[in-house]
Homo-oligomer: A and B are copies of this chain.
């Protein structure tokens, strides 16, 4: 590269910096064609300068190498609040104006660009769904590297250049993400180039990685499996040369690694290059303001010089700062970028703002889904067969793997729990991804595995998000209790989806599908610490059109639900399903109808027709609650043969909500037919009871709905005893039903209650002596072929 080349890059960088400062400060006079006046600056100064010049520096140099080598590069902007930089660069390269024609590449467009930033009705201050080229919201920190890796899995031609802020690097999710390089296969995956940006400061503190001794930092990065290349300094002239050389070296290495792996030979995990960019926070901004150090210190984090609206001296600092970029050397008379700078921009989709991976829906190919019928569990009579729901799903997922093998667009992620959650069938056709040493006695490890396991829910979630956002599909199988580890990541993804639904140019992406198993009622190995069914409560807080909650009661319904979810887009689907052997209720045909309805009475367990009014409704959502509720129905029908009972099962929890609250909500009229308007409803629910109240509080019969669910009681005990501790068991449900009848069901009702109490006492004695549940409870299944048989 010649001096002239570097001069061009420097001018391009100055243009991006100028536009970044302009966005934070200017309402008008965008090209500084007149002296800066009060009326030209915003009243409310919002936004973040500190990280921006470094981000712009990286962008300019990436443009250079993309053009030189015709690369496909995705820019992942990890530092918080890098919005001004990302927006500035996409405007410079033209992608911004192509997507938003009302912000053209001229003076009027620049005026609009500045005004809209952090302005009501405008755009946010960080990279966001609105930002071209972004799959990563720079809001909550920590997920950049996981997103980058997710993006390059199965994308052999893609390189994710991932800028990691040194603040972000202190988070747990980011700290764990470094080991993602143990899962990248250079033969079939793309590459991640981490660019650790040490600008030294957070909001009001130095950063750990910037202050630790340099040799310790190098050791750490080598320990992470990287070959770090250091670019350090503050003189732009020198830094441009260092950065260009560093990128040449890094991209050479990536090319060499990929070439070696793709030409065959052994495929050992390589030492991937990475870059450490140590540059001043607020680089090129004001040095000192009011006698206080600003550049290269945390005071440049947000708005380095404030009060510019009222303080002429501060306004002068701003004007000097803006003019220091010499806009007249950057922009033409009409406000467009000068041609020699515009020539630095890569072509078409090679521009990072236009990289197809950043709008992954454009690349999405629908999954080829197997028939659920082929996997149906035979259910000769309700409860007449047993099965393990997630094991059945495992076989279905195996076939998903097979049918989409060539498309290479489906992965299963799990924190070391795929087998524990009984999805092993997938290992008949694929392996766990693993690039470390493989021993002869290892089982189901391979460099090309499509199952990703690491003991980090953060990475499972982050990888899958990156994978989905770049146009692919997947499922996250997790212990129910520990999915809370990614509550905040879920929040951010749901927010991203909510916003993208209003952005026309963003093509829909595949839904994020959670399979939550080893759930609260199946923790006999683990106990209280593993019992928390509250993730769905968090999910229910999000926008109705983005979230779905499913509680399939058996294997066939689980298949139908999973099959449906894998075909949806722009949603988060949560499926809660057990792994323990359990009675099966519905044939595949019945399961399809049930899942279609979302909520329905099960005729085999009712002794009233759908049009009639029962004495009591017993309802259930969840697999274990369904067993206990049906056992309660059975018990009541034997002890109180004249009692008229309707049994209702809810597979799609959102169906409980009014139609105006959720698209899946059923009509009030239909709800009232099922639940009546005045009869007691005993509702056995998988999770914390409140969610059922919250979803039904607008329904006519709400005051009669009595929910039994998890009461935050538990320990290491038998599965049935767990339900007893939380009063979700058949006996407590039956007692609750009888107590709500007129006169408590009379003599028959009192006898039923006495019977239940005796059985509870017998249970207590038995488990404490034997350590297992009574055989008649373990083996219970609905003992009748039809409703007419029951109660005989």
Contacts and interface: CB of A to CB of B under 8 A. Distances in A.
Interface in A99-119: 118-119
A491 interface: yes
A717 B118 CA distance: 7
A788 B456 CA distance: 61
A126 interface: yes
Q: How large is the interface on A (under 10, 10 to 19, 20 to 34, 35 or more residues)?
A: 35 or more
A139 B529 contact: yes
A68 to B, nearest CB: 32
A223 B225 contact: no
Given A436-B211, A718-B44, A526 B484 contact: no
Contacts of A208: 179, 182, 436, 454
A50 interface: no
Contacts of A167: 416, 455
A141 interface: yes
A537 to B, nearest CB: 6
A321 interface: no
Contact of A43 (B417, B420, B770): B770
A64 to B, nearest CB: 31
Given A172-B172, A220-B224, A417-B203, A528 B124 contact: yes
Given A223-B222, A694-B690, A697-B697, A206 B528 contact: no
A604 interface: no
A728 interface: no
A64 B482 CA distance: 37
A527 B436 contact: no
A86 to B, nearest CB: 14
A282 to B, nearest CB: 14
A264 to B, nearest CB: 23
B498 A712 contact: yes
Contacts of A207: 455
A221 interface: yes
A204 interface: yes
Q: Is the interface of A mostly helix, strand, loop or mixed?
A: loop
Contacts of A419: 203-204
Interface in A133-181: 137, 139-142, 167-168, 170-176, 178-179
A592 interface: no
A46 B171 CA distance: 35
A205 B718 contact: no
A35 interface: no
A499 interface: yes
B717 A120 contact: yes
B173 A172 contact: yes
B172 A42 contact: no
A226 to B, nearest CB: 10
A171 B175 CA distance: 9
Contacts of A122: 716
Contacts of A693: 693-694, 697
A554 interface: no
Nearest to A496: B529
B206 A216 contact: no
A203 B479 CA distance: 13
A23 to B, nearest CB: 12
Interface stretch (A2-10, A337-345, A538-546): A538-546
Nearest to A539: B534
Contacts of A530: 139-140
A685 interface: no
B171 A526 contact: no
A420 B298 CA distance: 12
A317 interface: no
> Which 8 pairs of residues, A with B, have the shortest CB-CB distance?
A139-B529, A220-B223, A172-B172, A175-B175, A484-B488, A219-B223, A211-B436, A170-B455
27 contacts: A44-B524, A44-B718, A46-B716, A120-B771, A121-B717, A124-B526, A124-B529, A125-B527, A125-B716, A128-B528, A139-B529, A142-B172, A170-B456, A171-B456, A171-B457, A171-B485, A172-B174, A172-B176, A172-B456, A174-B176, A203-B419, A204-B416, A216-B223, A487-B488, A495-B712, A694-B694, A697-B697
Interface of A: 27, 42-44, 46-47, 81, 118-126, 128, 137, 139-142, 167-168, 170-176, 178-179, 182, 202-208, 211-212, 216-225, 293, 297, 302, 416-420, 432, 434, 436-437, 439, 441-443, 445, 453-459, 481-482, 484-485, 487-488, 491-492, 495, 498-499, 524-530, 532, 534, 537-538, 540-543, 688, 690, 693-694, 697, 702, 712, 715-718, 721, 767-768, 770-772
